[in-house]
Structure 1
Protein backbone atom coordinates (compact mmCIF):
# COMPACT_ATOMS: atom_id res chain seq x y z
CA UNK A 1 0.00 0.00 0.00
CA UNK A 2 2.84 2.40 0.83
CA UNK A 3 4.50 1.76 -2.55
CA UNK A 4 1.16 2.29 -4.29
CA UNK A 5 0.69 5.66 -2.54
CA UNK A 6 4.25 6.71 -3.40
CA UNK A 7 3.54 5.76 -7.00
CA UNK A 8 0.31 7.77 -7.01
CA UNK A 9 2.11 10.86 -5.70
CA UNK A 10 4.81 10.42 -8.31
CA UNK A 11 2.29 10.19 -11.16
CA UNK A 12 0.41 13.27 -9.91
CA UNK A 13 3.50 15.46 -9.76
CA UNK A 14 4.72 14.06 -13.11
CA UNK A 15 1.69 15.44 -14.92
CA UNK A 16 1.82 18.75 -13.07
CA UNK A 17 5.50 19.05 -13.98
CA UNK A 18 4.66 18.32 -17.63
CA UNK A 19 2.43 21.38 -17.74
CA UNK A 20 4.96 23.54 -15.89
CA UNK A 21 7.87 22.59 -18.15
CA UNK A 22 5.73 23.01 -21.28
CA UNK A 23 4.68 26.54 -20.31
CA UNK A 24 8.14 27.63 -19.13
CA UNK A 25 9.86 26.56 -22.33
CA UNK A 26 7.05 27.46 -24.73
CA UNK A 27 8.37 30.87 -25.90
CA UNK A 28 11.79 29.35 -26.71
CA UNK A 29 10.17 26.32 -28.33
CA UNK A 30 8.14 28.60 -30.62
CA UNK A 31 11.29 30.41 -31.75
CA UNK A 32 13.52 27.39 -32.22
CA UNK A 33 13.29 23.58 -32.30
CA UNK A 34 16.26 23.66 -29.92
CA UNK A 35 13.93 25.06 -27.28
CA UNK A 36 11.47 22.21 -27.78
CA UNK A 37 14.23 19.62 -27.49
CA UNK A 38 15.59 21.35 -24.38
CA UNK A 39 12.15 21.27 -22.77
CA UNK A 40 11.60 17.58 -23.51
CA UNK A 41 15.08 16.61 -22.29
CA UNK A 42 14.71 18.69 -19.11
CA UNK A 43 11.31 17.18 -18.37
CA UNK A 44 12.58 13.65 -18.95
CA UNK A 45 15.45 14.20 -16.52
CA UNK A 46 12.99 15.54 -13.93
CA UNK A 47 10.88 12.41 -14.29
CA UNK A 48 13.91 10.12 -13.87
CA UNK A 49 15.08 11.93 -10.70
CA UNK A 50 11.67 12.04 -9.05
CA UNK A 51 10.95 8.46 -10.07
CA UNK A 52 14.09 7.33 -8.26
CA UNK A 53 13.58 9.07 -4.95
CA UNK A 54 9.78 8.77 -4.83
CA UNK A 55 9.36 5.13 -5.91
CA UNK A 56 12.84 3.58 -5.81
CA UNK A 57 12.81 2.89 -9.56
CA UNK A 58 16.14 3.89 -11.13
CA UNK A 59 16.89 4.18 -14.85
CA UNK A 60 19.94 3.16 -16.87
CA UNK A 61 20.87 3.46 -20.54
CA UNK A 62 23.25 0.85 -21.94
CA UNK A 63 25.03 0.57 -25.24
CA UNK A 64 25.89 3.53 -27.46
CA UNK A 65 23.03 5.91 -28.28
CA UNK A 66 23.33 7.15 -31.87
CA UNK A 67 24.01 10.80 -32.67
CA UNK A 68 23.73 10.71 -36.47
CA UNK A 69 20.77 10.19 -38.78
CA UNK A 70 19.38 6.74 -38.05
CA UNK A 71 16.12 4.90 -37.52
CA UNK A 72 15.68 3.57 -33.99
CA UNK A 73 13.45 0.47 -33.83
CA UNK A 74 12.56 -0.07 -30.19
CA UNK A 75 10.76 -2.48 -27.93
CA UNK A 76 7.87 -0.56 -26.33
CA UNK A 77 6.51 -1.54 -22.92
CA UNK A 78 5.45 1.73 -21.26
CA UNK A 79 5.68 5.53 -21.30
CA UNK A 80 9.01 5.27 -19.49
CA UNK A 81 10.91 3.72 -22.39
CA UNK A 82 9.73 6.57 -24.65
CA UNK A 83 11.36 9.13 -22.37
CA UNK A 84 14.51 7.08 -21.78
CA UNK A 85 15.18 6.55 -25.49
CA UNK A 86 14.34 10.13 -26.41
CA UNK A 87 16.52 11.59 -23.66
CA UNK A 88 19.49 9.44 -24.69
CA UNK A 89 19.72 10.91 -28.21
CA UNK A 90 20.24 14.53 -29.28
CA UNK A 91 17.40 15.03 -31.78
CA UNK A 92 14.83 12.30 -31.36
CA UNK A 93 11.51 12.47 -33.19
CA UNK A 94 8.54 10.19 -33.67
CA UNK A 95 5.91 9.13 -36.16
CA UNK A 96 2.64 10.24 -34.59
CA UNK A 97 -1.06 10.08 -35.35
CA UNK A 98 -2.18 13.26 -37.09
CA UNK A 99 -4.85 13.88 -34.44
CA UNK A 100 -2.12 14.53 -31.85
CA UNK A 101 -1.19 17.71 -33.72
CA UNK A 102 -4.24 19.32 -32.17
CA UNK A 103 -3.52 18.30 -28.57
CA UNK A 104 -2.79 21.46 -26.53
CA UNK A 105 0.97 21.98 -26.00
CA UNK A 106 1.77 18.30 -26.61
CA UNK A 107 1.00 18.58 -30.31
CA UNK A 108 3.02 21.76 -30.72
CA UNK A 109 6.04 20.28 -28.97
CA UNK A 110 5.84 17.12 -31.05
CA UNK A 111 5.85 19.16 -34.25
CA UNK A 112 8.67 21.42 -33.06
CA UNK A 113 11.01 18.48 -32.38
CA UNK A 114 10.36 17.22 -35.91
CA UNK A 115 7.85 14.43 -35.31
CA UNK A 116 6.03 13.27 -38.43
CA UNK A 117 2.20 13.44 -38.34
CA UNK A 118 0.59 10.78 -40.51
CA UNK A 119 -2.89 9.97 -41.74
CA UNK A 120 -3.96 6.35 -41.69
CA UNK A 121 -2.55 4.62 -44.76
CA UNK A 122 -0.38 7.59 -45.84
CA UNK A 123 2.80 6.97 -43.86
CA UNK A 124 4.92 6.66 -47.02
CA UNK A 125 3.96 10.13 -48.23
CA UNK A 126 4.69 11.63 -44.81
CA UNK A 127 8.14 10.05 -44.67
CA UNK A 128 8.91 11.18 -48.21
CA UNK A 129 8.04 14.76 -47.22
CA UNK A 130 10.21 14.51 -44.11
CA UNK A 131 13.19 13.35 -46.17
CA UNK A 132 12.63 16.16 -48.69
CA UNK A 133 12.43 18.72 -45.86
CA UNK A 134 15.69 17.49 -44.34
CA UNK A 135 17.40 17.59 -47.72
CA UNK A 136 16.20 21.14 -48.42
CA UNK A 137 17.18 22.35 -44.95
CA UNK A 138 13.62 23.00 -43.77
CA UNK A 139 14.05 20.39 -41.06
CA UNK A 140 17.03 19.10 -39.12
CA UNK A 141 18.06 15.49 -39.42
CA UNK A 142 17.92 13.35 -36.37
CA UNK A 143 16.92 10.02 -34.92
CA UNK A 144 13.50 8.71 -36.01
CA UNK A 145 12.11 6.54 -33.21
CA UNK A 146 9.56 3.88 -34.13
CA UNK A 147 8.01 0.91 -32.35
CA UNK A 148 8.26 -2.21 -34.47
CA UNK A 149 5.33 -3.99 -32.80
CA UNK A 150 3.15 -0.92 -33.21
CA UNK A 151 2.00 -0.71 -29.59
CA UNK A 152 3.02 -1.31 -25.99
CA UNK A 153 3.63 -4.97 -25.31
CA UNK A 154 3.63 -6.28 -21.75
CA UNK A 155 6.52 -8.47 -20.55
CA UNK A 156 6.02 -12.09 -21.54
CA UNK A 157 3.45 -11.27 -24.24
CA UNK A 158 4.30 -12.13 -27.84
CA UNK A 159 3.30 -9.71 -30.60
CA UNK A 160 4.34 -9.68 -34.26
CA UNK A 161 6.87 -7.24 -35.69
CA UNK A 162 5.09 -5.17 -38.32
CA UNK A 163 6.47 -5.15 -41.84
CA UNK A 164 5.99 -1.38 -41.97
CA UNK A 165 9.26 -1.21 -40.06
CA UNK A 166 11.05 -2.62 -43.09
CA UNK A 167 9.26 -0.17 -45.39
CA UNK A 168 10.64 2.72 -43.36
CA UNK A 169 14.11 1.16 -43.19
CA UNK A 170 14.12 0.74 -46.96
CA UNK A 171 12.75 4.20 -47.70
CA UNK A 172 15.06 6.03 -45.29
CA UNK A 173 18.16 4.20 -46.48
CA UNK A 174 19.70 4.71 -43.03
CA UNK A 175 21.17 2.34 -40.45
CA UNK A 176 18.69 0.92 -37.97
CA UNK A 177 19.52 0.87 -34.27
CA UNK A 178 17.53 -1.80 -32.37
CA UNK A 179 16.65 -1.04 -28.74
CA UNK A 180 15.73 -3.56 -26.06
CA UNK A 181 14.15 -2.84 -22.68
CA UNK A 182 12.78 -4.28 -19.45
CA UNK A 183 10.86 -1.21 -18.22
CA UNK A 184 7.49 -2.99 -18.32
CA UNK A 185 8.57 -5.16 -15.40
CA UNK A 186 8.52 -2.06 -13.18
CA UNK A 187 6.25 0.42 -14.98
CA UNK A 188 3.31 -1.54 -16.45
CA UNK A 189 1.06 -0.58 -19.34
CA UNK A 190 -1.86 0.05 -16.98
CA UNK A 191 -2.28 0.80 -13.30
CA UNK A 192 -0.68 3.03 -10.67
CA UNK A 193 2.01 0.88 -9.06
CA UNK A 194 5.65 1.63 -9.97
CA UNK A 195 7.95 -1.05 -8.58
CA UNK A 196 11.45 -0.32 -7.24
CA UNK A 197 14.38 -1.69 -9.23
CA UNK A 198 16.50 -0.85 -12.27
CA UNK A 199 14.73 -0.04 -15.54
CA UNK A 200 17.04 -0.40 -18.54
CA UNK A 201 16.98 0.49 -22.21
CA UNK A 202 19.84 -0.94 -24.24
CA UNK A 203 20.98 0.33 -27.62
CA UNK A 204 22.15 -2.63 -29.67
CA UNK A 205 24.63 -2.68 -32.58
CA UNK A 206 23.44 -0.98 -35.76
CA UNK A 207 21.87 -2.94 -38.60
CA UNK A 208 23.36 -1.53 -41.81
CA UNK A 209 21.12 -0.32 -44.64
CA UNK A 210 20.50 -2.46 -47.68
CA UNK A 211 19.24 -5.77 -46.25
CA UNK A 212 16.29 -7.50 -47.86
CA UNK A 213 12.98 -7.72 -46.01
CA UNK A 214 13.29 -11.22 -44.57
CA UNK A 215 16.88 -10.74 -43.44
CA UNK A 216 16.15 -7.39 -41.83
CA UNK A 217 12.95 -8.42 -40.04
CA UNK A 218 14.46 -11.66 -38.75
CA UNK A 219 17.57 -9.95 -37.46
CA UNK A 220 15.65 -7.10 -35.84
CA UNK A 221 13.18 -9.33 -34.01
CA UNK A 222 15.80 -11.85 -32.89
CA UNK A 223 18.15 -9.22 -31.52
CA UNK A 224 15.52 -7.11 -29.77
CA UNK A 225 13.63 -10.04 -28.24
CA UNK A 226 16.78 -11.86 -27.11
CA UNK A 227 18.20 -8.76 -25.45
CA UNK A 228 14.85 -7.79 -23.90
CA UNK A 229 14.40 -11.30 -22.45
CA UNK A 230 17.90 -11.04 -20.97
CA UNK A 231 17.14 -7.65 -19.40
CA UNK A 232 13.81 -8.86 -18.01
CA UNK A 233 15.46 -11.96 -16.54
CA UNK A 234 18.04 -9.69 -14.93
CA UNK A 235 15.10 -7.82 -13.36
CA UNK A 236 13.68 -11.09 -12.00
CA UNK A 237 11.00 -11.64 -14.65
CA UNK A 238 10.87 -14.94 -16.50
CA UNK A 239 8.21 -15.53 -19.13
CA UNK A 240 6.27 -18.78 -18.92
CA UNK A 241 7.01 -21.15 -21.84
Structure 2
Protein backbone atom coordinates (compact mmCIF):
# COMPACT_ATOMS: atom_id res chain seq x y z
CA UNK A 1 0.00 0.00 0.00
CA UNK A 2 2.78 2.46 0.91
CA UNK A 3 4.76 1.65 -2.24
CA UNK A 4 1.66 2.11 -4.39
CA UNK A 5 0.97 5.46 -2.72
CA UNK A 6 4.52 6.60 -3.53
CA UNK A 7 4.18 5.43 -7.14
CA UNK A 8 0.84 7.23 -7.40
CA UNK A 9 2.37 10.45 -6.04
CA UNK A 10 5.20 10.28 -8.60
CA UNK A 11 2.62 9.77 -11.35
CA UNK A 12 0.70 12.89 -10.32
CA UNK A 13 3.85 15.00 -10.26
CA UNK A 14 4.79 13.90 -13.78
CA UNK A 15 1.21 14.02 -15.07
CA UNK A 16 0.51 17.53 -13.81
CA UNK A 17 3.96 18.77 -14.78
CA UNK A 18 3.79 17.61 -18.37
CA UNK A 19 0.16 18.70 -18.70
CA UNK A 20 1.22 22.25 -17.86
CA UNK A 21 4.09 22.09 -20.37
CA UNK A 22 1.87 20.65 -23.13
CA UNK A 23 -0.84 23.25 -22.44
CA UNK A 24 1.70 26.08 -22.70
CA UNK A 25 3.15 24.69 -25.95
CA UNK A 26 -0.17 24.11 -27.70
CA UNK A 27 -1.76 27.22 -26.19
CA UNK A 28 1.09 29.43 -27.39
CA UNK A 29 0.91 27.88 -30.86
CA UNK A 30 -2.84 28.52 -30.88
CA UNK A 31 -2.32 32.19 -30.06
CA UNK A 32 -0.01 32.49 -33.05
CA UNK A 33 -1.83 30.38 -35.64
CA UNK A 34 -5.45 30.62 -34.40
CA UNK A 35 -6.06 27.10 -35.72
CA UNK A 36 -5.26 23.41 -35.35
CA UNK A 37 -1.77 22.55 -36.62
CA UNK A 38 0.25 19.39 -37.15
CA UNK A 39 2.38 20.42 -34.18
CA UNK A 40 -0.59 20.83 -31.84
CA UNK A 41 -2.12 17.54 -32.97
CA UNK A 42 1.15 15.62 -32.57
CA UNK A 43 1.71 17.14 -29.13
CA UNK A 44 -1.82 16.21 -28.03
CA UNK A 45 -1.28 12.62 -29.20
CA UNK A 46 2.00 12.51 -27.29
CA UNK A 47 0.24 13.77 -24.15
CA UNK A 48 -2.39 11.03 -24.29
CA UNK A 49 0.08 8.25 -25.12
CA UNK A 50 2.57 9.33 -22.48
CA UNK A 51 -0.10 9.52 -19.79
CA UNK A 52 -1.21 5.97 -20.60
CA UNK A 53 2.44 4.88 -20.45
CA UNK A 54 2.89 6.59 -17.06
CA UNK A 55 -0.27 4.94 -15.74
CA UNK A 56 1.05 1.54 -16.78
CA UNK A 57 4.63 2.07 -15.64
CA UNK A 58 3.92 3.75 -12.31
CA UNK A 59 0.33 2.82 -11.49
CA UNK A 60 0.27 -0.66 -12.94
CA UNK A 61 -2.83 0.25 -14.97
CA UNK A 62 -2.91 -1.47 -18.36
CA UNK A 63 -5.11 -0.17 -21.16
CA UNK A 64 -7.32 -2.30 -23.41
CA UNK A 65 -9.61 -0.77 -26.05
CA UNK A 66 -11.87 -2.99 -28.18
CA UNK A 67 -14.75 -2.69 -30.63
CA UNK A 68 -13.01 -0.23 -32.95
CA UNK A 69 -14.77 -1.86 -35.90
CA UNK A 70 -17.99 -0.28 -34.61
CA UNK A 71 -16.81 3.27 -35.37
CA UNK A 72 -18.43 4.24 -38.69
CA UNK A 73 -16.64 6.28 -41.34
CA UNK A 74 -17.47 9.95 -41.45
CA UNK A 75 -19.11 12.11 -38.84
CA UNK A 76 -20.61 10.59 -35.72
CA UNK A 77 -21.08 11.16 -32.01
CA UNK A 78 -19.05 9.08 -29.57
CA UNK A 79 -20.92 8.85 -26.26
CA UNK A 80 -18.82 7.34 -23.49
CA UNK A 81 -19.32 6.39 -19.89
CA UNK A 82 -17.13 8.62 -17.72
CA UNK A 83 -15.43 7.31 -14.57
CA UNK A 84 -11.85 8.61 -14.82
CA UNK A 85 -9.48 10.96 -16.61
CA UNK A 86 -8.18 7.74 -18.19
CA UNK A 87 -11.25 7.82 -20.44
CA UNK A 88 -10.00 10.90 -22.27
CA UNK A 89 -6.55 9.45 -22.95
CA UNK A 90 -7.81 6.00 -23.94
CA UNK A 91 -10.55 7.13 -26.33
CA UNK A 92 -8.60 9.97 -27.99
CA UNK A 93 -6.30 7.90 -30.27
CA UNK A 94 -9.24 6.06 -31.85
CA UNK A 95 -11.53 8.96 -32.75
CA UNK A 96 -9.93 10.30 -35.92
CA UNK A 97 -10.28 14.04 -35.41
CA UNK A 98 -12.17 14.36 -32.11
CA UNK A 99 -14.14 17.36 -30.89
CA UNK A 100 -14.65 16.92 -27.15
CA UNK A 101 -17.53 18.60 -25.36
CA UNK A 102 -15.79 20.60 -22.60
CA UNK A 103 -17.26 22.66 -19.78
CA UNK A 104 -16.77 26.41 -20.05
CA UNK A 105 -14.66 26.66 -16.88
CA UNK A 106 -11.89 24.55 -18.44
CA UNK A 107 -11.93 26.63 -21.62
CA UNK A 108 -11.25 29.77 -19.57
CA UNK A 109 -7.97 28.46 -18.11
CA UNK A 110 -5.05 30.32 -19.76
CA UNK A 111 -3.09 28.19 -22.24
CA UNK A 112 -5.17 25.07 -21.49
CA UNK A 113 -8.33 26.69 -22.85
CA UNK A 114 -6.53 28.12 -25.87
CA UNK A 115 -5.06 24.69 -26.56
CA UNK A 116 -8.44 23.00 -26.22
CA UNK A 117 -10.08 25.47 -28.57
CA UNK A 118 -7.40 24.92 -31.22
CA UNK A 119 -7.99 21.16 -30.93
CA UNK A 120 -11.68 21.47 -31.90
CA UNK A 121 -13.10 21.27 -28.37
CA UNK A 122 -16.71 22.47 -28.04
CA UNK A 123 -17.58 24.71 -25.12
CA UNK A 124 -20.71 24.20 -23.02
CA UNK A 125 -21.79 26.51 -20.20
CA UNK A 126 -23.66 24.27 -17.76
CA UNK A 127 -24.74 27.20 -15.61
CA UNK A 128 -26.87 28.55 -18.46
CA UNK A 129 -28.85 25.33 -18.77
CA UNK A 130 -31.00 25.19 -21.91
CA UNK A 131 -29.68 28.59 -23.03
CA UNK A 132 -26.28 27.01 -23.66
CA UNK A 133 -27.65 24.51 -26.19
CA UNK A 134 -27.84 26.76 -29.31
CA UNK A 135 -24.18 27.80 -28.99
CA UNK A 136 -23.10 24.19 -28.44
CA UNK A 137 -25.09 23.11 -31.50
CA UNK A 138 -23.52 25.77 -33.69
CA UNK A 139 -20.04 24.62 -32.64
CA UNK A 140 -21.02 20.95 -33.13
CA UNK A 141 -22.28 21.58 -36.69
CA UNK A 142 -19.05 23.40 -37.52
CA UNK A 143 -16.98 20.54 -36.06
CA UNK A 144 -18.87 17.93 -38.09
CA UNK A 145 -18.35 20.06 -41.21
CA UNK A 146 -14.59 20.05 -40.47
CA UNK A 147 -14.61 16.24 -40.40
CA UNK A 148 -14.62 15.83 -36.61
CA UNK A 149 -16.28 13.19 -34.51
CA UNK A 150 -18.06 14.66 -31.49
CA UNK A 151 -17.00 13.08 -28.18
CA UNK A 152 -19.37 13.56 -25.25
CA UNK A 153 -19.74 12.08 -21.79
CA UNK A 154 -23.55 11.85 -21.48
CA UNK A 155 -23.58 12.08 -17.68
CA UNK A 156 -21.57 15.29 -17.81
CA UNK A 157 -19.09 14.35 -15.10
CA UNK A 158 -17.15 11.41 -13.73
CA UNK A 159 -19.22 8.84 -11.87
CA UNK A 160 -18.12 6.17 -9.42
CA UNK A 161 -18.24 2.59 -10.73
CA UNK A 162 -21.77 1.12 -10.50
CA UNK A 163 -23.25 4.43 -9.30
CA UNK A 164 -26.79 5.10 -10.52
CA UNK A 165 -26.78 6.39 -14.11
CA UNK A 166 -27.67 10.04 -14.65
CA UNK A 167 -27.84 10.80 -18.37
CA UNK A 168 -28.25 14.47 -19.31
CA UNK A 169 -30.13 15.95 -22.27
CA UNK A 170 -27.05 17.28 -24.09
CA UNK A 171 -26.34 14.04 -25.95
CA UNK A 172 -30.01 13.72 -26.90
CA UNK A 173 -30.07 17.24 -28.33
CA UNK A 174 -26.89 16.55 -30.30
CA UNK A 175 -28.35 13.33 -31.68
CA UNK A 176 -31.58 15.01 -32.77
CA UNK A 177 -29.78 18.02 -34.24
CA UNK A 178 -26.85 16.45 -36.09
CA UNK A 179 -28.60 13.39 -37.57
CA UNK A 180 -25.49 11.19 -37.39
CA UNK A 181 -24.87 7.77 -35.78
CA UNK A 182 -23.98 7.58 -32.08
CA UNK A 183 -21.35 5.10 -30.90
CA UNK A 184 -21.80 4.13 -27.23
CA UNK A 185 -18.65 3.38 -25.22
CA UNK A 186 -18.65 1.23 -22.09
CA UNK A 187 -15.72 1.17 -19.65
CA UNK A 188 -14.55 0.19 -16.17
CA UNK A 189 -11.72 2.68 -15.54
CA UNK A 190 -13.09 3.99 -12.25
CA UNK A 191 -12.05 0.76 -10.54
CA UNK A 192 -8.40 1.67 -11.05
CA UNK A 193 -8.28 5.49 -11.16
CA UNK A 194 -11.39 6.86 -9.53
CA UNK A 195 -12.74 10.38 -9.53
CA UNK A 196 -11.03 12.60 -6.93
CA UNK A 197 -8.77 9.68 -5.99
CA UNK A 198 -5.10 10.22 -5.23
CA UNK A 199 -4.42 6.48 -5.35
CA UNK A 200 -3.91 4.45 -8.50
CA UNK A 201 -4.79 0.75 -8.29
CA UNK A 202 -3.13 -1.83 -10.59
CA UNK A 203 -5.35 -3.66 -13.05
CA UNK A 204 -6.61 -3.57 -16.62
CA UNK A 205 -8.79 -0.60 -17.53
CA UNK A 206 -11.00 -1.39 -20.51
CA UNK A 207 -13.06 0.64 -22.94
CA UNK A 208 -15.36 -1.01 -25.47
CA UNK A 209 -16.86 0.74 -28.49
CA UNK A 210 -20.33 -0.70 -29.06
CA UNK A 211 -22.44 -0.98 -32.25
CA UNK A 212 -23.64 2.45 -33.39
CA UNK A 213 -27.17 3.70 -32.85
CA UNK A 214 -28.61 4.82 -36.17
CA UNK A 215 -30.00 8.35 -36.62
CA UNK A 216 -33.71 8.99 -36.93
CA UNK A 217 -35.04 7.64 -33.63
CA UNK A 218 -37.26 9.61 -31.29
CA UNK A 219 -35.54 11.34 -28.38
CA UNK A 220 -36.98 8.91 -25.83
CA UNK A 221 -36.12 5.82 -27.87
CA UNK A 222 -32.58 7.04 -28.48
CA UNK A 223 -31.93 7.80 -24.82
CA UNK A 224 -33.28 4.38 -23.87
CA UNK A 225 -31.11 2.63 -26.47
CA UNK A 226 -28.02 4.55 -25.37
CA UNK A 227 -28.47 3.79 -21.68
CA UNK A 228 -29.34 0.14 -22.38
CA UNK A 229 -26.15 -0.20 -24.41
CA UNK A 230 -23.67 1.53 -22.09
CA UNK A 231 -24.83 0.52 -18.63
CA UNK A 232 -25.05 -3.31 -18.91
CA UNK A 233 -21.78 -3.50 -20.86
CA UNK A 234 -19.98 -1.23 -18.36
CA UNK A 235 -21.30 -3.40 -15.55
CA UNK A 236 -20.09 -6.51 -17.38
CA UNK A 237 -16.59 -5.04 -17.74
CA UNK A 238 -16.58 -4.17 -14.03
CA UNK A 239 -17.77 -7.63 -12.97
CA UNK A 240 -15.16 -9.28 -15.20
CA UNK A 241 -12.45 -7.21 -13.49
CA UNK A 242 -13.85 -8.11 -10.07
CA UNK A 243 -13.85 -11.79 -10.99
CA UNK A 244 -10.20 -11.53 -12.03
CA UNK A 245 -9.43 -10.00 -8.63
CA UNK A 246 -9.01 -6.38 -7.54
CA UNK A 247 -5.97 -4.93 -5.82
CA UNK A 248 -8.03 -2.04 -4.42
CA UNK A 249 -10.14 -2.24 -1.28
CA UNK A 250 -13.87 -2.74 -1.85
CA UNK A 251 -15.98 -0.50 0.37
CA UNK A 252 -19.61 -1.08 1.28
CA UNK A 253 -20.95 1.12 -1.54
CA UNK A 254 -18.95 -0.64 -4.22
CA UNK A 255 -19.79 -4.07 -2.80
CA UNK A 256 -23.48 -3.22 -2.86
CA UNK A 257 -23.14 -2.17 -6.50
CA UNK A 258 -21.30 -5.39 -7.35
CA UNK A 259 -24.00 -7.48 -5.68
CA UNK A 260 -26.78 -5.58 -7.48
CA UNK A 261 -25.01 -5.90 -10.86
CA UNK A 262 -24.53 -9.63 -10.36
CA UNK A 263 -28.20 -10.05 -9.42
CA UNK A 264 -29.27 -8.16 -12.56
CA UNK A 265 -26.98 -10.12 -14.86
CA UNK A 266 -28.92 -12.38 -17.27
The CA distance in 2 between the partners of 1:25 and 1:80, in whole Å, is 21
The structure in which a higher percent of residues are helix is 2
TM-aligned CA distance change 1:218 to 1:63, over 3 Å: same
Number of the residue aligned with 2:22: 21
1:128–1:150 CA distance, 2 compared to 1 (3 A): closer
- Of stretches 118-127 and 186-195 in structure 1, the one that deviates more from structure 2 is 118-127
SS in 2 for 1:239: helix
Matched, 1:234 2:253: no
For residue 87 of structure 1, report the CA deviation from its aligned partner.
2.5
RMSD: 2.0
Indicate if the aligned counterparts of 1:116 and 1:126 stay in contact, CA closer than 8 A.
Answer: no
Task: Could you tell me which runs of 5 or more consecutive residues in structure 1 were left unpaired when the two chains were aligned.
Answer: none
Q: Does 1:58 align with 2:78?
A: no
CA gap of 1:239–1:21, structure 2 versus 1, over 3 A, is same
Query: Pairwise mapping of residues 133-144 of structure 1 onto structure 2 (< 5 A)?
Result: 133-134=142-143, 140-144=146-150
Aligned to 2:7: 6
Q: CA deviation at 1:96?
A: 2.2
* CA-CA distance at 1:25 after TM superposition: 4.4
Alpha-carbon deviation of 1:158?
Answer: 0.6
Aligned pair in 2 of structure 1 residues 173, 203: CA closer, same or farther (>3 Å)?
same
1:49 aligns with 2:53: yes
Unaligned runs of 5+ in 2: 244-256, 261-266
Aligned mates of 1:134, 1:26 — CA distance in 2: 19
Aligned length: 238
Q: Is the 8 A contact 2:75 2:149 kept in 1?
A: yes
Distance in 1 (CA, whole Å) between partners of 2:197 and 2:143 is 40
Q: Which residue of 1 aligns with 2:247?
A: none
Asked if residue 33 in structure 1 is aligned to residue 42 in structure 2, the reply is no
Alignment deviations for residues 32-90 of structure 1 (CA, whole Å, 9 cap, x no partner): 41333322211010011111111211111111173521111110001111221123212
SS state at 2:259 partner: coil
Corresponding residue for 2:250? none
Partner of 2:251: none
Please tell me whether the aligned partners of residues 73 and 148 of structure 1 are also in contact (alpha carbons under 8 angstroms).
yes
Alpha-carbon distance, 1:24 to partner: 4.0
Task: For residue 19 of structure 1, report the CA deviation from its aligned partner.
Answer: 2.0
1:168 aligns with 2:169: no
Aligned partner of residue 217 in structure 2, secondary structure: coil
Give the Å deviation of 1:26: 4.8
2:104 is the alignment partner of 1:98: yes
SS in 1 for 2:157: coil
Is residue 2:188 matched to residue 1:182?
A: yes
Equivalent position SS for 1:236: helix
Per-residue displacement from partner, 1:123-172 (whole Å, max 9, x unpaired)? Answer: 3311332255358x6xx231111111222110121122223321110001
TM-score (norm 1): 0.90
Structure 1 stretch 177-186 or stretch 88-97: which is displaced more? 88-97
TM-score (norm: length of structure 2):
0.82
